[in-house]
Amino acid sequence: MDILTKRPRGTEDKLPKEIYKWHTVEKIAADTAEAYGCKEIRTPTFEHTELFQRGVGSTTDVVQKEMYTFDDKKGRSITLKPEGTAGVVRAAIENGLFNDALPLKTYYFTRCFRYEAPQSGRLREFNQFGVEVFGAPSAASDAEVIALANDVINRLGVKNISLEINSIGCPTCREEYHKALIEYYGKYKDKLCDTCLERLEKNPMRLLDCKSEICGSLKSDAPKMLDYLCDECKEHFESVKRRLDALEIAYTVNPLIVRGLDYYTNTVFEFISNEIGSQGAVCAGGRYNGLVEEIGGSPLAGLGFAMGLERIIMVMDNQKLDFAQEKGCDLYIASFDEETNIYAMTLAKKLRSQGFWVEFDTAGRSFKAQMKYANKINATYCMVIGSDELANGSAKLKRMSDGEELPVKLDDGFANRLNTLIMDISL
Ligand code: ATP
Ligand code: MG
């Protein structure tokens, strides 16, 4: 029986009483992205498994261990999306979006699915806000995408988030670096975890990302990509830094941030909180100049980021930030019998069409119980419709905060009167 009333491990219910937090974050994120010229894109919740094997990379934790993959009834392998980028690239290629004016700038909200060990800040179904920009190879775009993420965080009022950046160069300058990594880690082969041992030859940069204790402790002395950058990649990174300086966005260079796949290039970055335990990365992103081609399009520069919304909201909760509270019910109309209830219903319909939040009794409650309910839903005003009110076309509006009563005519001017009263209160 439990299985009917318990959600699957690693999932969360976002309940009505806290949904205003999500609305606030989503609105601020969307408004900010649009101020940068991004347009929303919505892609399917599931894609062909091959897309993620290509687009995320078959040597990544996500693809090797974390995907929700199943065969559909025709035996096609389907995967619930573990991240947003691959689907956006696929959709852009399929719908010819790269043939329009470039850069193409997109943003999205998506649920992601990863079979991970659930813990605080780590879920099996979670939500991301993401931005992807295509056709903008200049360092200006790296800085702009970082600035966008930074703006969202600032507009939310979140404090104490640090920005760490790195450059992982291009496939050419990375070749030498890979050799150096293989040589360095090769000396510790007997200590490496199985996963790292297996990745050492195929994808040595991944080892810098390993969270196991032993491999983790080897990171700090490992060779650094920054020492291997070619002139062009070095200049790109310097330009990104100059631009962040000009925008007064503080950052530290962390040579241990990697992406570890050939199609990721140049800038990588993370925004990190140290207030929500070990799952502190609230946003991660970077440039992926090789990805569009990898997925089957013509070569095209790309970059973006994804922000973990559960983690951002955890930080906001932790910092006790004022989420914009959603407004309360404007008016509750109490009634006594079918006739007055029908009148309440038609009045509610009229006022709702003018934008008010209006409620009346749909539960067949007593008058007393209706008033109790009006209190519970925090109604700003309450109005009683009895047979006298019906006969006279007038009623009394009761302000719930102090009980003050105001006589009102229930004519066409009522909505305006209600509006003025509500505005007066909110001032
Ligand atoms: P981590 O190192 O924490 O596993 P990641 O490198 O797997 O993160 P990305 O794939 O870059 O994360 O995803 C971008 C963002 O999505 C992360 O910075 C984080 O805020 C959020 N995120 C990733 N995985 C989860 C998860 N399992 N539950 C909740 N949020 C997540
Ligand atoms: Mg992860």
For residue 117, which ligand has an atom nearest its CA?
1
Q: Rounded to the nearest whole angstrom, what is the distance from the C-alpha of residue 385 to the centroid of ligand 2?
A: 58
Q: Rounded to the nearest whole angstrom, what is the distance from the C-alpha of residue 389 to the centroid of ligand 1?
A: 59
104-124, pLDDT tens digit by residue? 999 999 999 999 999 999 999
Provide the 3-class DSSP secondary structure of residue 273. strand
- Give the model's pLDDT for residue 427: 65
Which numbered atom of ligand 1 lies nearest the CA of 128?
16
Which residues does residue 271 pair with via DSSP β-bridges, in sequence order? 163, 283
**Ligand 1, atom 10, residue with closest C-alpha:** 83
ω into 103 cis (within 30 of 0): yes
Distance (Å, whole) CA 177 – CA 184: 10
| Span of 202-206, 307-311, 340-344 with lowest mean pLDDT | 202-206
Q: Rounded to the nearest whole angstrom, what is the distance from the C-alpha of residue 266 to the centroid of ligand 2?
A: 21
Cβ atoms < 10 Å from Cβ of 227: 10
pLDDT reading at 262 higher than 80: no
What does pLDDT average to over the chain?
A: 94
Across residues 260-277, what is the average pLDDT? 90
More confident residue, 143 or 261: 143
Question: In CATH, what number does 3-170+230-318 get?
Answer: 3.30.930.10
Which numbered atom of ligand 1 lies nearest the CA of 66?
27
Residue 38 near residue 106, CB atoms below 8 Å: yes
Query: What percent of the chain lies above the pLDDT cut of 70?
Result: 99
Residue 43 near residue 108, CB atoms below 8 Å: yes
Domain with CATH 3.30.930.10 in the chain: 3-170+230-318
**Ligand 1, atom 7, residue with closest C-alpha:** 62
Question: In CATH, what number does 331-421 get?
Answer: 3.40.50.800
70-108, pLDDT tens digit by residue? 999 999 999 999 999 999 999 999 999 999 999 999 999
For residue 259, which ligand has an atom nearest its CA?
1
Which numbered atom of ligand 1 lies nearest the CA of 285?
11
Provide the 3-class DSSP secondary structure of residue 352. helix
Residue 90 near residue 284, CB atoms below 8 Å: no
Cβ atoms < 10 Å from Cβ of 1: 5
Q: Rounded to the nearest whole angstrom, what is the distance from the C-alpha of residue 88 to the centroid of ligand 1?
A: 18
Tokens of 230: 């070619």
Domain with CATH 3.40.50.800 in the chain: 331-421
pLDDT reading at 133 higher than 70: yes
pLDDT reading at 260 higher than 70: no
Across residues 271-295, what is the average pLDDT? 95
Distance (Å, whole) CA 325 – CA 314: 17
Q: What is the DSSP letter of 327?
A: P
311-359, pLDDT tens digit by residue? 999 999 999 997 877 678 999 999 999 999 999 999 999 999 999 999 9
Ligand 1 pocket residues where CB is under 6 Å: 83, 114, 116, 121-123, 126, 128, 279, 281-284, 306, 308, 310-311
